[in-house]
Amino acid sequence: MSEQQFEPVIVGFLCNWCSYRAADLAGTSRTKYAPNMRAIRVMCSGRVDPQFVLKALREGADGVMIAGCHPGECHYVEGNIKALRRYVLLKRMLKQWGIEKERVQLVWASASEGNLLAEAVDRMTEEVRALGPLRWRQAVLGGNGHKPVETAEVEVEVEEV
Amino acid sequence: MSEKPKLAMYWAASCGGCEISVLNIGDKILIVDEVFDLAFFPCIADFKHHDVEGYEDGYIDVCLFNGAIRTSDNEEMAKLLRKKSKVLVAYGSCAYEGCIPALSNLTTKDETFNTVYYENQTIDNPNRVVPQVETQVPEGTLTLPSFYNTVKSLDQVVDVDYYLPGCPPEPEQIWAVLEIVVNALLNDGPLPPAGSIVGAGNVAVCEECPLDKNVKTITQFYRPYEIQPEPGLCLLEQGLICVGPATRSGCGALCPQVGMGCRGCYGPLEGVDDQGAKMLSAIASVVGVGDSTDDEFELEEMIDNVMDSLADPSGTFYRFSMAHSLLERVKANGNGTNGGEVK
């Protein structure tokens, strides 16, 4: 047995029209990629409220991936551009909060780009693995006399792709 | 006549503005005086800690607690007053959600001490003296409350019955709440359900704001000193940050009406966990740069250039709600290169 390595938990918000199908394609074409991303299907990357990202990080995720259609290909015309605008600002905010930029990533993957999505998940998993666990509640909030940590049930929705 | 109900008001980490706001209700203060006996109100009457300790549990009918929890003393007082009060109200933004004191959750206790005791331009501290929790002197040991690394809201240390938002709460809202309490005490009137936010509206500040909104998008942000806003027009559409879209109404949109964008002191709207995240979303909608015809690889840079003109997004969007935000504080000494760094 090799020594136990840290397996990051990555929450992935995948848009229904492109990236979720890319994940589907990666699955049906038996592409091998890191099993660390837990996929959550949303109708559009523009549906990803920044609150979702912050909540995931707070509740135990080590990273969050938001994936949507390429610009110009959004099912709702410009939902992904809105997601990008939020992401750009969120990145600036996360920097202030001391959260490394690799932990929250935005990826464009169309329905035919299963390989591209798989590569992005592989790459992000390795980047987050190198950073180590985030453990926000325990590591950042825990020792400050905050609400006790025992309520820190890690609730990460998992959906099979 | 039977004994009057007891009123208390206490300040923790606060500026004292909340106390003044109570006096700001004008001649209604006479009614408050008529109805209540003061049991504890350090700002205006001489009560001591041991007076409160001497009360039996639940002796105080209504306690208006303002200020955030910054030190162990604040927490101790919160717990004491919780025990002695029937109704505990988190009064004002600090007690409700951290407010300005909680902005120091963007940094650490050590950094705060560094700035306050060593590095400020006006500080002359050659012996590098900083407050200690315990100090030995010939007569014995002196103690001071300990200073927490993280500022907390009142409900993060004790149970709170009601929240009265605002920095400070508006006089008519304060009176509306006191009226309900007085009515409940004297005439057995109904009280709102425990845990309610009282003395505030249920819509966004924008709904109350009379400025013209034309759904105009912007390509640059300005700080208030940089431009003179056009009167009568939505400030956000002029590039001035206004947190109105993410903020609960109740103030009558006083700030935007005089050309100063909403700072967000009434806190998030019903059902929102994180005011800053909601404001971030709103900002993303007013930025007019980038559309589906732009080159995929240039888009991010174009948008990033606009965001360059937005100074200190965390401090701006969480100006009042840091303690209640989802992440609550920044990560100190993060294992990245930017641990706790504030732009």
B218 and B291 belong to one structural domain: yes
Both B145 and B158 in one domain: the answer is no
> Given a cut of 60, is residue A154 above it in pLDDT?
no
Same domain, B65 and B112: no
How does residue B297 score in pLDDT terms, banded at 50, 70 and 90? confident
Chain A residues touching B337 at Cβ < 8 A:
100
B26 touches chain A (CB under 8 A): no
Domain encompassing residue A64: 10-151
Residue in chain B closest to A140 (alpha carbons) equals: B331
Which residue in A has a C-alpha nearest to residue B338's C-alpha? A98
Residues B2-16 have a mean pLDDT of 92
Structure token digits, residue B97:
């959600």
Full 3-state SS string of A107-129 = EECCCCCHHHHHHHHHHHHHHHH
Q: Is B335 inside a domain boundary?
A: no
The Cα B137–Cα A137 span in angstroms is 39
pLDDT the model gives residue A110:
96
C-alpha distance across the termini of chain B, in Å = 61
pLDDT higher than threshold 70 for residue A58: yes
Q: Are residues B91 and B191 in the same domain?
A: yes
Q: Per the domain annotation, does A1 fall within a domain?
A: no
Chain A touched by B311 (CB under 8 Å): no
- State whether B258 and B131 are in the same domain: no
Per the prediction, chain B carries an average pLDDT of: 91
Query: Which residues of A are less than 8 Å from B159 in CB distance?
Result: none
Q: Are residues B29 and B170 in the same domain?
A: yes
Interchain proximity B310–A74, CB inside 8 Å: no
Residue A157's pLDDT band, with cuts at 50, 70 and 90, is: low
DSSP state of A140: I
> Could you tell me the pTM of the whole model?
0.90
- Name A105's bridge partners: A65
Tell me: pLDDT of A74 over 80.
yes
| Residue A124, domain member (yes or no) | yes
pLDDT average, residue stretch B265-294: 92
Picking from A93, A105, A107, A14, the residue whose alpha carbon sits closest to that of residue A64 is: A105
Q: Convert the pLDDT of each residue in A4-45 to its tens digit.
A: 899 999 999 999 999 999 999 999 999 999 999 999 999 999
Q: How many CA atoms lie within 13 A of B75 on its CB side?
A: 16
Of B150, B294, B333, the CB nearest to A146: B150
Instruction: Confirm whether B213 is domain-assigned.
Output: yes
B232 in any annotated domain: yes
Lowest mean pLDDT among B60-64, B164-168, B184-188, B339-343: B339-343
Determine, yes or no, domain membership for A118: yes
Mean pLDDT, to the nearest integer, of B284-310? 89
Domain of A133, CATH number, reads 3.40.50
B50 and B176 both lie in a single domain:
yes
- ipTM score here? 0.90
Q: DSSP characters for B271-329?
A: T-S-HHHHHHHHHHHHB----TTS-HHHHHHHHHHHHTTS--HHHHHTTTTGGGSSS-S
CB contact under 8 A, A50 and B156: no
- What pLDDT score was predicted for residue B331? 87
Q: pLDDT at residue A159 above 80? A: no
Residue B334 lies in a domain: no
B332 belongs to a structural domain = no
Picking from B197, B230, B261, the residue at the C-terminal end of a domain is B197
Quick one: pLDDT band at residue B335, thresholds 50, 70, 90? very low
Residues B12 and B73 in one domain: yes
pLDDT in tens, B37-57: 999 999 989 999 999 999 999
For residue B2, the model assigns a pLDDT of: 67
Mean pLDDT (whole number) for B113-117: 93
Both tokens assigned to B246: 């993410």
Say which DSSP state B152 is in. Answer: E
**CA dihedral for B20, B26, B28, B29, sign (positive or negative):** positive
B338 within a domain of the structure (yes/no): no
| Predicted confidence (pLDDT) per residue in B158-200, tens digit | 999 999 999 999 999 999 898 888 888 888 889 999 899 999 9
Asked if the structure places residue B297 within a domain, the reply is yes
Domain that holds residue B134: 106-149
Q: For residue B338, what is the DSSP state?
A: T
Q: Report the number of distinct structural domains present in chain A.
A: 1
Residues B184, B92 within the same domain? yes
Smallest CA–CA separation between A109 and chain B, in Å? Answer: 12
Q: Is B81 domain-assigned?
A: yes
Which of the residues B272, B278, B326, B329 would you substitute to probe the A interface, choosing the one with the greatest number of A C-beta atoms within 10 Å?
B326
A49 Cβ under 8 Å from any chain B Cβ:
yes
Task: Determine the residue type at B328.
Answer: E
Residues of A in Cβ contact (< 8 Å) with B307? 88-89, 92
Nearest beta carbon to residue B300 from set A84, A90, A139: A84
As a whole number of angstroms, the distance between CA B92 and CA B266 comes to 9
- Together in a domain, B86 and B226: no
Q: Which residues pair with residue B134 across a beta bridge? A: B143
Same domain, B184 and B239: no
pLDDT tens, residue by residue, B207-265? 999 999 998 899 999 999 999 999 999 999 999 999 999 999 999 999 999 999 999 99
Q: Do A98 and B314 touch (CB under 8 A)?
A: no
Cα angle at B172 between B320 and B25, to 5 degrees?
Answer: 100
